[in-house]
Every structure is written in C-alpha cells, then in structure tokens.
Amino acid sequence: MTTAVPRSAPAVLPGPNDACWCGSGTKYKKCHRGADAVEARKKGPEVARKGIRPGVISPRRDVPMNIPRPDYALTGRPQRRSSDSEIRSPDVIARMRRACKAAAEVLQEVASHVRPGITTDELDAITHEAYIRRGGYPSTLNYHGFPKSLCTSVNEVICHGIPDNRALEDGDIVNLDITIFLDGVHGDCSATYFVGNVDEESQRLVKVTRECLDVGIAAVKPGRPISDIGRAIEAHATQNGVSVVRAYCGHGIGETFHTSLQIPHYYEPDADTIMEPGMIFTVEPMINLGGWGHRTWDDGWTAVTADGSRSAQFEHTLLVTEQGADILTVA
C-alpha cells in the first residue's frame, strides 16, 4: 500500500530535522521549509506580511527618586555577582513572591489595554505608572541602556521589541514582557496577546507556545538536569511543526536581573546543572512558525525571525521545590 504525497504543505508542518512532507526523504529544513515560509506569508492577512518597522521612540520616562532602584539604573551597567549561589535564602524567596505577584498584576493591567489603535509607547506609559504605583522600578529601564520600561514584541519580533509610536493593528499578536524591581529583587513574566481578529495559524502558534511553557514547567524536578526543560519544550514544538528559538533562553533571577544560570528551551545536553530546591529561574520559550533563526535590528535590541514568520512567547518565574515547580508570577 502506498502513501499519497500531499500536493501542498499540510496544516501541521514537520520539524526542521524531520523528513519533509513532500516525500523526498530529505530533511524538511533542506527541502520545503523556505518555500513554505514564503507561501505562508503570501496567504496570511496583509498586516502579518508587510513586516514590522521601527517607529519613533519617545524620551525615557522618569522614576521618582523615592523609588529604590537597581545598581544599573544610572550607569546602565549591572554589577556581576558570579559567586552568588543559585539557592535562594528564605528572605529572598519571600521578597521574590511579592515582586513576582506584582509583576503578574502589572501584566494583567497592561494586557487589558491591548486593542487595535493603541501604540506600544502608550502601553509602555501604562506599564511605567503601574510599576511606580506599587513602589517598584522598571527592571528593563536602562538595563544595558534599554530605553523603555516594557518590551513589546509584535508579530515577527521574537523579543526585546522597543515600544514606539507604531499603533497595534487588527490581526497583530503582541508579547508584553514585564519585569519589576521591588523589595530589592526582580519579578519577571510575559505573555502573548491577540490584537482584534487574528488568523488561525497565529492562534495555533500562541496556543502551542503556551503549551510549551506548561510542559517546560512540568519538567522542573529537583535532582534532574536543567536540560530536561528544553527537551520537553523542543519535543512539543517539533510535534506541532513549529521551532524553538535558540539564541535566547531563560535565566536565574533574584537580587540580580539575570544570573549566570541559563535555561535553554531546546535540548542542550551541556545544560547539566542539577535543579535543587531553592533555585529561582525563568522559563520563557520563544516559538516561531518558521525556522528558529533570528536577526537583530540596528537598534541592537529588537530580535526578529530570520524568515519573517511570526513568533510568540510566554514566561513565568519559578521556584524549585521538593515537589517540582512553584509558579511565582501569579496575581
């Protein structure tokens, strides 16, 4: 019995290293992946195909002097604390719970304003004020010179999008990445939202990306290597015909915004650090409809998919416990 070869790409595409759907026996990435990405851009909504372009960035927003701030707030250069243990003390864990709860609350507040016509700079202003009302400092503001209090990553932007005067349009998807410095620690979370009426493929991308976060969190177990997280995420992404961004990863977090601990979202056997109770880190898979490659805009921050396909992301800050993962970024 022979198997019929489809004349066009199926709804669920194979992973980059899987056999191509056309039956050639060649890996998908070497066969139809490039052509499929081009065809997808032709078929989708116009808003998704014309690409995001840099807009005008407004001046940096001020933070009242009574708000405690991280060490890089003035210089833009965070201090390295490479000797710090990744096992957090009860005091740090208690403070992290407060900061992460505040981050989750801010994310919910800002997300309620997502709609066609609002600019990402307006979302940044809402976020900035939400931090300050809680007595917190925007962790991203002047971190290595980043100019805003929020990262807004639209459509093909993978991460680190800088809010500007571009208005969100019907059919966009947008990731809001929230980090607050509160009580001397950082709480970090993000989610991707629909803007108006979004095409089915983008809806599927966002759904699968959220599932990737969930399976990554489920893989957090004391006594197991960090690589288990990426293994679970990559397996789910591949099964659903999407790819995992490799250039960016999750990270340890606490009194330092980004510690030396890294959490790959694809299977990396060298990520052999053993998870232990008291560790706190983020899991934040970035998932692309097309290939996992990226390029960076001239602003030095905005990372976009190399093939122009859409990207989505979800993120939580987690505490490793004796039972598994305790999600800290919940409102």
Same domain? 21 vs 127: no
Task: Pinpoint the alpha helices (H) of 50-152.
Answer: 90-111, 120-133
Strand order across the beta sheet in which 294-296 lies: 157-159, 303-305, 294-296
Q: What is the pLDDT of residues 48-69, one digit of tens each?
A: 346 899 999 999 999 999 999 9
Domain-embedded: residue 67: no
Q: What is the pLDDT of residues 59-96, one digit of tens each?
A: 999 999 999 999 999 999 998 765 568 999 999 999 99
**What letter would DSSP give residue 144?**
G
Same domain? 151 vs 212: yes
Same domain? 154 vs 264: yes
Q: What is the pLDDT of residues 160-195, one digit of tens each?
A: 999 999 999 999 999 999 999 999 999 999 999 999
- At residue 329, the pLDDT reads 98
Domain-embedded: residue 55: no
Same domain? 203 vs 321: yes
- At residue 6, the pLDDT reads 39
Residue 292 pLDDT more than 90?
Answer: yes
Same domain? 258 vs 187: yes
This prediction has a pTM of 0.84
CB 194 within 8 A of CB 203: yes
Same domain? 30 vs 133: no
Any idea of the CA torsion for 145, 51, 57, 258, to the nearest 10 degrees? -20
The boundaries of the domain holding residue 20 are: 11-43
Same domain? 90 vs 29: no
Same domain? 39 vs 131: no
Domain-embedded: residue 72: no
Any idea of the CA torsion for 255, 258, 261, 263, to the nearest 10 degrees? 130
CATH classification of the domain holding 298: 3.90.230.10
The percent of residues in the chain predicted with pLDDT above 90, rounded, is: 82
- At residue 44, the pLDDT reads 38
Residue 3 pLDDT more than 70?
Answer: no
Q: What is the average pLDDT across 213-218? A: 98
**What letter would DSSP give residue 259?**
-
Domain-embedded: residue 70: no
Same domain? 35 vs 158: no
CB 116 within 8 A of CB 169: yes
Number of independent structural domains in the chain: 2
